[in-house]
Chains A and B, each alone.
Chain A
Amino acid sequence: MTLTATFEASARPPARSVPRGLVFVLPAVLLLLAIYIVPIIVLAGFSITDYRLGAMNWDFVGARNFTAAFADPVFIRALANTALYAAIVIPAGVFIALGIALLVYGRKSSRAFWETAYFLPVTATLVAMATVWQFLLHPSLGPVNTAITWAGFDPVSFLGNPALLIPTMALIGVWQVLGFNMVLFLAGLTAIPRDLHEAARIDGAKSPIDRFLTVTWPMLGPTTMFVVVTTSISAFKVFETVAVLTKGRSGSETLLYALYLEGFEYSNTGYAAALTLIFLAIVLILSIGQTLRMDRKVHY
């Protein structure tokens, strides 16, 4: 105890350098305030009013926006849709990317080609790509349905059948995140010391499954955690595909799309602010939860 006390006392800077220190942290503090803190406070302020964009006056409504949200069938549906979308995109986007990374990692001369090929969707704008997907999945014109009918099945109306809307968009979402996740996994694979694989081989890990379970998977822990968190966040933020492909018809709204409709189409700024806070809370709880839960397991 005494040691700690001495340490703290000696670590405290002399009084005259405090103002100078404050000057140095000021730019960062100002930026942080302007970009994150003040907007969130303003947002929280809006969320307890019935403010509509352009209106001259407004009233405080307390928590009424939040209670209204959970009674709103559109919002509940958007929540369920987003959950379904995330439930497909997160596992598929993480594990397929891992599989591809393992395959690409084994290539020598063609590795650069595969990396580029899988990474291209990440660099493309999703709005443009969604239009391409619309064509690909078109019931009569699209090559996907041509292939399905050629194989002897009935054509599938991917973007017409309400039950298929979210899964179809989830497939596009998976396609979009694969390349980024694959590159992350490749970086993780490269960082695994060769000695560990060799030690495992000598220890008797003959099958690739054994080597994967003994070395690769545990050593990829930190990478996997990062990939899961970023994929979850991008899954919850799904917006472009909905805006371009379905515009929320047949009950295919997602959280962000519902929020956009309220805020910018219907000008319900107060209500949209409340939805935004709910969205923020969900993303924050999920990512902090995942990080805390997994962090203990992946860092040795």
Chain B
Amino acid sequence: MSRQSIELSGISKSFGPTQVLKEIDLSVREGEFLSLVGMSGCGKSTLLRIIAGLELPDDGVVEIGGENVTSRDPADRNLAMVFQSYALYPHMTVRQNIATPLRMRMLPLAARLPLLGRLLAPRETLSQIDAAVEQAADTLQITHLLDRKPAQLSGGQRQRVALARALVRQPAAFLMDEPLSNLDAKLRAHMRDELAALHRRLGATFIYVTHDQVEAMTMSDRIALMIEGRIEQLGTPDDLYRTPATLSVARFIGSPTINLLPAEVTADRQVTVAGMETGLHAEEGPATLGIRAEDFHLASTGMPARLLRAETHGADRFLTCQLMAGDGSVVVLRQSASDRPSADADGKLHLRFAADRVHLFGADGRRRPVYVGGKVAA
């Protein structure tokens, strides 16, 4: 029941003169964990709200499990949503909060009224609801909190209650709008694991909105990276990291940020950086060469650079260097902390990079094929 595909086609949305979403097509497979990632203002939350039915698209079609639900009320879409603010009902106990989606669906309006309703509610339905609430609470290990009010809970506990409220009825899909961003760093990392585990256990469709690429990279089956109302690239975390389709994707994904060097492809198709030949070939024109920190290494010859700073982060060491040729770009190199920085007394060192792992982007920002000795490198 909680495995449904979601199909978006041609979704556009404007708020006044600003077009927030530009003809989005996206298909979310059943049981998939898909993240919508992007900077704030890229339209990812609006897209999620359109799927939820909280916002109507100006154009386009939303299908859930093959059914067109574009103009259907949020209540009839059978989705569950976890909000950034958790949106728990403050006047209800945790038990009542979790029971709300079931009460709304299983009890007639008269039985939901205060006071009088208690007499009208069929006892059997109530015990079904109770059992479902207990089970959801058990899944999220919050059984001991059931009789508290949200105000008496910590951020992490509220987060769990919001999740329990989402999974108490088996929805077609779970929508999550930056659910972890109000938690402190340690708890966030912990909840990330739990969410991923929850997804595996339920096998449900998850659509997860975040601006944090780490969250997206660690939990998702696929990531849709959004920039200015468009899906810039859709793929597995690995795809986005290893073969970013555009310069913007390369910049957004990965920590530390990818090193970008201005490059030139000469008439004889040689890729040169700072006037030096790289041994790479591509089509002629100005370009940008992207090299991840871990794809640089130190050597006795190569691009001369000056070491500006070395930071050791446990197992890794990041070397910040300034190239001594060209425009003096600053690049970051990652090496194992057990390796020696091997700069000479003036802090001079030589950099080389793995030719088969570079990314070349044309002047239009799109990825271009690069060849090493006739073979496609990346």
Contacts and interface: CB of A to CB of B under 8 A. Distances in A.
Interface of A: 193, 195-196, 198-207, 209-210, 213-215, 218-219, 221, 300
Given A196-B87, A204-B101, A300-B149, 7 more contacts: A195-B85, A198-B81, A198-B83, A199-B88, A201-B53, A201-B73, A205-B104
B214 interface: no
Given A195-B85, A210-B104, A213-B114, A202 B79 contact: yes
Nearest to B90: A300
A195 B113 CA distance: 22
B75 interface: yes
15 contacts: A193-B87, A195-B85, A198-B52, A199-B88, A199-B89, A201-B53, A202-B74, A202-B75, A202-B79, A203-B100, A204-B104, A205-B75, A205-B104, A206-B104, A218-B91
Interface string B97-133: 0001100110001001110000000000000000000
Which 10 residue pairs are nearest across A and B when measured between Cβ atoms? A204-B104, A199-B87, A195-B87, A218-B91, A300-B90, A203-B101, A206-B75, A201-B74, A204-B75, A202-B81
Contacts of A207: 109
A203 B185 CA distance: 29
Interface of B: 52-54, 73-76, 79-81, 83-85, 87-92, 100-101, 104-105, 109, 112-114, 149-151, 165
Contacts of A219: 90-91
Nearest to B81: A202
A212 to B, nearest CB: 11
Contacts of B113: 213
B89 A198 contact: no
Nearest to B150: A300
Nearest to B113: A213
Contacts of A218: 89-92
A210 B79 CA distance: 18
B109 A195 contact: no
B90 A210 contact: no
A205 to B, nearest CB: 6
A198 B101 contact: no
A215 B104 CA distance: 13
Nearest to B73: A206
